[in-house]
Amino acid sequence: MANDKELPDSMISGPDTVTGHIISTTIGGKNGEPKQTVSYMAERVVGTGSFGVVFQAKCLETGETVAIKKVLQDRRYKNRELQLMRTMDHPNVVSLKHCFFSTTSNDELFLNLVMEYVPESIYRVIKHYSNNNQRMPLIYVKLYTYQIFRGLAYMHTVPGVCHRDLKPQNILVDPLSHQVKICDFGSAKVLVKGEANISYICSRFYRAPELIFGATEYTTSIDIWSAGCVLAELLLGQPLFPGENAVDQLVEIIKVLGTPTREEIRCMNPNYTDFRFPQIKAHPWHKVSLLSNSTLNVINIFCC
């Protein structure tokens, strides 16, 4: 249940629309700090989904550009994304500046997460090269991949957070500095050994096989699988396993990696041990024939 001590101090009422209006809120006031009013001009929507909306805004006091994620909040519960973001501080994880609640004319409660603004995503960068029939320079692939895994290593060990929806759209990149930031922790969770979790999680193209098999006691290794798929997409310019549905997703994986052994299936989900799959040998990576053996070996490490 929500606790007043865990909620942002400020509550504002405003128009139901997002862009084109000014949002004013109060920050500070804790540990003897003076309170100060901060105002944001909402400029444009940069992302939408079932979660709500993300918009670009400018702080009128400092001129700083920020991203504000506005999500509908159930008054009865804590917001897990907020709790997790408060625990993380890393160069490759998008940072939370502060947060506040807002209400609409229908008395709906929204949580607004004010975050650092990063102008591009890995998804858009991949699309840029693909639309121009080009491959991403290998130096950028290496640079982005290193930072993605650096961010994951921090998340998995220090706060113990599993992202559970890692994909190109949720990896931001500064086009000037090429610094990468993992974002969108709406599906993230601290996994506890022995506790069951939902298996229908993670976007399909980046979903680990154990999730497709319905495993509920998985580990942060599902993020490593997703990151391996992202690495392959950086190299290919297209998803490695583009399944049309959950079953087809498994077929796409088997077509490349071969049929999993009975022991591998048992490790993913013991209930599937008697299920019979067509016996298919691992494919010799025909999609990536232009890549070096060392690069293929790296993909093999993550997608296995």
Q: Which amino acid is at 250?
A: L
Phi/psi for 114 (5° steps) reads: -95, 115
Q: What are phi and psi of 243, to 5 degrees?
A: -70, 145
Residue 70 labelled as part of a binding site: yes
Whole-number Å distance between alpha carbons of 265 and 274: 10
Instruction: Based on the residue annotation, tell me whether 165 is a catalytic residue of this protein.
Output: yes
Q: How far is CA 29 from CA 13, 59, 112, 122, in A?
A: 20, 19, 19, 38
| DSSP-derived 3-state class of residue 190 | strand
3-state SS class at 10: coil
Sign, CA torsion 43/46/47/51: negative
Under a CB-based contact definition with an 8 Å cutoff, are residues 40 and 59 in contact?
yes
Catalytic residue (one of 89, 107, 165, 274): 165
CB atoms under 10 Å from CB of 261, counted, come to 9
Q: How far apart are CA 303 and CA 62, in angstroms?
A: 45
For residue 178, give both structure tokens: 């090429």
Token match 């805004």: residue?
Answer: 57
Residues marked as catalytic: 165
For the annotated binding site for ATP, the residues are 70
